[in-house]
Amino acid sequence: MGATLEATLRNRDKITVIDLRGSIKTNEDYDVFKNAIDQAIEQGAPKVLLNFRDVNFINSSGLGRLILAAKIISEDEGQLKITDLSEDLRELFVFTRLDSKIPIYSSEDEALNAFN
């Protein structure tokens, strides 16, 4: 069975936007998620925006990868931001306190404007 997660990288105003679609449930999904983030970091893109508009679930492995990505990017003096979380995912990020580590925005434009 293949991954149910799709990740697409695009650039917008020198910021790497990763559009995610699906769920982060399986090892294959995790690999897709991890590879997209790694690709953005390897491209020397210290400004990364994860667009969760079309994501309906993220497991603990995915949350762990987010924490690691935030650490790697901040050590590189970059910034990681998240946009368009569903209400359920927003509650999860608040409950796990990820919202205190990674800034969350309601829209892509709002997030892009917050990069300095």
Using one digit for the tens of pLDDT, what is the confidence trace for 6-22?
999 999 989 999 999 99
- 52 lies in a domain? yes
Residue 116 covered by a domain: no
Phi, psi of 62 (to 5 degrees): -65, -40
Full domain range(s) for residue 73: 6-111
Q: How does pLDDT run across 40-96, given as a tens digit for each residue?
A: 988 876 899 999 999 999 999 999 999 999 999 999 889 999 999 999 999 999 999
CATH number for 18: 3.30.750.24
Residue 69 lies in a domain: yes
CA trace torsion 38, 2, 98, 111 (10° rounding): 70
| Domain count for the chain | 1
- C-alpha–C-alpha distance, residues 18 and 95, integer Å: 24
Asked whether residue 1 carries a pLDDT value surpassing 80, the answer given is no
Is 27 within a domain? yes
Q: Is residue 32 part of a domain?
A: yes
